[in-house]
Amino acid sequence: MRLGELLNMKWNWIDFKQNIITVQCSATFTTKSKKERIIPISPILRIQLINQLPKVIDLEKNTFVFARINEVKLNEDFVSKQFKKSVRAAGLDDKIHFHTLRHSFASQLVQKGVSLYVAKELLGHEDL
């Protein structure tokens, strides 16, 4: 997912029965393609999300998954800076930024033989 999609993700986007996240557009957020898309949830991510559920006051309410205590969503600048601090603390290349995760994911898909069409869909790209 793109950083903007992650930070705008709400609990009601997540379907634990079907193990999917539906990235949705709203009055305050539009995806890059301006379309909704469906992303499968990995077993590891599912566990992590379920572990957060006790902290969520009301799942029916449109609360952000990644939010401050007062339910205000995190902003991209804050997350990018925190990510950069973590990269430096881990002694990794300073050129690594949050978007690098998408590049790594795409590379792993190709290495595992996933079709380019499926990779395109998972990444939310309009074309190859």
Q: Give 16-39 pLDDT, tens digit per residue.
A: 999 999 999 887 888 888 889 999
Nearest CA-CA partner of 9 in 21, 17, 27, 20: 21
Coil vs helix vs strand at 89:
helix
Mean pLDDT of the chain: 90
- The three-point CA angle 118-52-62 to 5° equals 75
Specify the pLDDT at position 61. Answer: 67
Q: Whole-structure pTM over 0.85, yes or no? A: no
One-letter amino acid at 98 equals: F
Confidence of residue 57 (pLDDT cuts 50, 70, 90): low
Specify the pLDDT at position 8. Answer: 93
DSSP state of 31: -
Q: Looking at per-residue confidence, does 87 or 64 come out higher?
A: 87
Q: Looking at per-residue confidence, does 69 or 57 come out higher?
A: 69
**Alpha-carbon distance 94 to 116, whole Å?**
29
Specify the pLDDT at position 28. Answer: 82
Tokens read off for 58? 């009301």
